[in-house]
Structure 1
């Protein structure tokens, strides 16, 4: 029986992240990854049944885990007394901190943009993080509509609109050759601006 360890899994994901960045999703192979790790393909497949699942693990580790963590906090039982604006501020800051300070996360985003037109990478990325954020934001907004905090509308569209406001000022970073990190103060300011604009348009 083959024994799997968390340390080995993390090493595979780390090496795969580097490989995907260097070669892109389509050209990267399990053969090449096995060579770099000094093991066999059988070992890799023992951890990840396919390249798609391995890439999903890379995405979640380096680019979307912060979204999952931030989204989970939206409906946290201990946060029931927190205002909608405060919840959105916390979510937005958690989202932007990674996108404005983590070079590996930014590299993954760039890779997804570059490959999405000719592979399934774009949807793999979406399913590994953004979809969950949209769904949880939509549930939060639906509840806020029921409680008279937000005007009635499609909760999922509202979620997409809020995410667009949050990322409006940083999307250019994906296309810049070098993108210097932003301070926590600047992240708070950008998030606060997005929350205010969202509430001005969707709030009662």
Structure 2
């Protein structure tokens, strides 16, 4: 009986701790985007949260650690949404087009662009960029690579290195749009251009890696 109650209390504490961490991350993300990473202090974050710096440091030991959490939540949540978008289609070509549009719409949106800029402006000896790729971006792309590997097992894609396949898909969809957006040469995603680019990317991808079954409209789920 006591063990059951103790386990229940521990679960509640973990849930509340995670909720508080998410609240801190959301507030930090707002301030980073409003003022920039360098101009945002832990004091500003604590003030907006309505708590003390001591409480804030109890969850995150540094502003860099908090930035890493902001990036982790943002990319992980988006990766989940994009994968659900992909798997909701019964046709591989249609699923690839929807995934491409969703990915690039998000990729070119203000928050992801601001996040990349924050990471890119860290000092050369900062571990933030390396950790961002190893803990966040790499695992997100690996998830897509694993999905492509399953499609190879199902006979929907030709056998190839799943990571290379995922990177080819990424390149086919991005064109030069990400660089233009990052450098301010374009203001944001153009729906018509994204529809065109994602359709062409899906068709080129299936020419490279598709099988007779997938080109004929095989399932992508």
Aligned length: 196
Tell me the distance in 2 between the aligned counterparts of 1:61 and 1:179.
26
CA distance in 1, matches of 2:135, 2:60: 15
Match of 2:111 among 84, 100, 104: 104
Question: Which protein has greater RCO, CA pairs closer than 8 Å, 6+ apart?
Answer: 2
What residue is the counterpart of 1:121 in the other structure? 128
Counterparts of residues 30-41 of structure 1 (less than 5 Å)? 30-31=42-43, 33-34=45-46, 37=49, 39-41=51-53
Partner residue of 1:201? 208
1:83 paired residue number: 91
Contact 1:88 1:195 in 2 (8 A): yes
The two structures, once aligned, show a CA RMSD in angstroms of 3.3
Confirm or deny that 1:13 pairs with 2:25.
Answer: yes
8 A contact 1:116–1:122 mirrored in 2 = no
Superposition pairs of residues 105-184 of structure 1, within 5 angstroms = 105-115=112-122, 117-127=124-134, 129-177=136-184, 179-184=186-191
User: Is the CA contact 1:113–1:122 (under 8 Å) kept in the aligned structure 2?
Assistant: yes
Question: d(CA) in 1 for partners of 2:169 and 2:123?
Answer: 23
Unaligned runs of 5+ in 1: none
Give the TM-score, by structure 2 length. Answer: 0.69
Tell which structure's C-alpha radius of gyration is larger.
2
User: What do the CA deviations read for 1:27-80 (whole angstroms, capped 9, x no partner)?
Assistant: 865345335655322221344355454223322454553223212454x5xx4x
Q: Partners of 1:150 and 1:116 in 2: how far apart?
A: 42
